[in-house]
Amino acid sequence: MERKAVDWWVGIFVLLGLAALVVLALRVGNLADLGTRGGYPIVATFDNVGGLKVKAPVKMGGVPVGRVQSISIDPQSYLAVVRMEIEPGIKLPTDTGASIYTAGLLGEQYVTLEPGGSPDYLKPNGRISLTQSAISLEQIIGQFLYSKAAETPASPGSQAGGEGL
């Protein structure tokens, strides 16, 4: 093999390796975010986002219409601020509601939008005010166990205390 050809191949090989490392760091690892495909941003604040992740799907009637862009905390109200990017063709009424749901029992969490009936549409960077937080499975189980414990008559003396719940 000619000298120049070998040098070319070695150069390409090393560059490929470096490119692979960059892809691993940026795309597979958690170093930087992936660019999104255009669209307009909207913002929603939640009390609790649960396990919602950046780039989780935003769905409307089960159809993906966007992605979660960033999740942060509002320093004034201490509420979770979720920035979403919505596909350009989809217009959302100003009274759209947003909820966080879980796909299956172990599945990932996603945002569901329920459009309202307002004649006005949300502008880019518009804020959704009607939100429903993620359902915390632990809280539900906790409440269920608590109410069960209150129902069962443990002893005649404790019956009165249980009624209050």
Partner 1 sequence: MPGQPRKPQSWDAIPRFGHWLLEVLANLGTSTRFLLLVLAAVFQRHFSLRQLSLQVYAVGVLSLLLMVVAALFTGMVLGFQGYNTLVRFGAEESLGTVVALSLVRELGPVLTALLFAGRAGSALTAEIGLMKTTEQLAAMEMMAVNPFAWVVAPRLLAGVIAMPILAAIYNVVGVWGGYLIAVPLMGVDEGAFWSQMQANVSLYDDILSGMIKSLCFGLVVTWIATWQGYRSEPTAEGVGRATTRTVVGSALAVLALDFVLTALMF
Contact positions vs partner 1 (CB under 8 A): 1, 3, 6-7, 9-10, 12-14, 16-18, 20-21, 23-25, 27-31, 34, 53-57, 64, 67, 103-108
* Long-range contact set of residues 154-162: C-beta below 8 Å, sequence gap at least 24: none
Nearer to partner 1, 24 or 141 (CB): 24
Nearer to partner 1, 64 or 161 (CB): 64
Strand order in the sheet with 40-46: 126-128, 40-46, 80-86, 63-73, 57-60, 109-114, 97-102, 130-132
Tell me the C-alpha distance between 52 and 94, whole Å.
Answer: 23
Compute the least distance from the CB of residue 117 to partner 1, in Å.
Answer: 29
Nearer to partner 1, 25 or 141 (CB): 25
Compute the least distance from the CB of residue 2 to partner 1, in Å.
Answer: 12
| Cross-strand bridge partners of residue 85 | 41, 67
Compute the least distance from the CB of residue 79 to partner 1, in Å.
Answer: 22
Q: For residue 53, give every residue at least 6 positions away whose Cβ sits within 8 Å of its Cβ, in sequence order, or none.
A: 68, 71, 108, 109
Nearer to partner 1, 36 or 147 (CB): 36
Nearer to partner 1, 75 or 104 (CB): 104
The rounded Cα 29 to chain-centroid distance in angstroms is 18
Compute the least distance from the CB of residue 57 to partner 1, in Å.
Answer: 5
Tell me the C-alpha distance between 163 and 165, whole Å.
Answer: 5
Compute the least distance from the CB of residue 35 to partner 1, in Å.
Answer: 12
